[in-house]
Amino acid sequence: MPVPATVGYIPPVSTAEQAPDPVRDPWRQAMRLAVREARLAAEGGDVPVGAVVLAPDGTTVLASGHNEREATGDPTAHAEVLAIRRAAAALGEWRLTGCTLVVTLEPCTMCAGALVQSRVDRVVYGARDEKAGAAGSLWDVVRDRRLNHRPEVIEGVLADECAQQLTSFFRDR
């Protein structure tokens, strides 16, 4: 039953009308690119996870990747690892200092380790992974104080859209 329009009633805010989010808004465009990459993974029968690596300017895309485990038979062919490898090749250096990795799903322990080792400055992710996440959900590898490098973590960018891709993929299997 609809709520009657009365004095003092404030209708719910639609997604399009939400207040600006200065932490997450700058990463939405890059996350949309990662979401497109995730679609490519699903089309190939892989779990829909996509990633992009941004140059230190925060806007230039150095590399992208999507899960290719099924396509290649490589258990390490996660979106993040592939994007990191390609970004390092583009830069001609293994250190991705100043770079940002944007990924649709919270990185697992393998990918979190790769992020620390590659010296990425920032990790931006969409959906949390309560079963295998290593950037704050189940573990927090990327911010472990015992490690020599700890990237900044920004979570929840286009989280609903990212989670919906995963939900749809697994529901249809």
Residue ranges of the binding site for Zn(2+): 78, 108, 111
Q: Both tokens of residue 165?
A: 């891709």
> Could you confirm whether 80 is annotated as catalytic?
yes
Its sign, for the CA torsion 13, 135, 66, 57, is positive
Q: Catalytic residue, from 17, 37, 70, 80: name it.
A: 80
Q: How far apart are CA 141 and CA 138, in angstroms?
A: 10
Q: Give the integer Cα–Cα distance in Å for 82 and 75.
A: 12
Which conformational region is residue 162 in: left (phi greater than 0), alpha (psi within -120 to 50 degrees), or beta?
alpha
Residue 51 token pair: 């990633």
The DSSP symbol for 24 reads T
Contact partners, residue 15, CB within 8 Å, separation at least 6? none
3-state class (DSSP) for residue 76: coil
Which residues are annotated as part of the binding site? 78, 108, 111
How far is Cα of residue 156 from the mean position of the Cα atoms in its chain? 9
Catalytic residues: 80
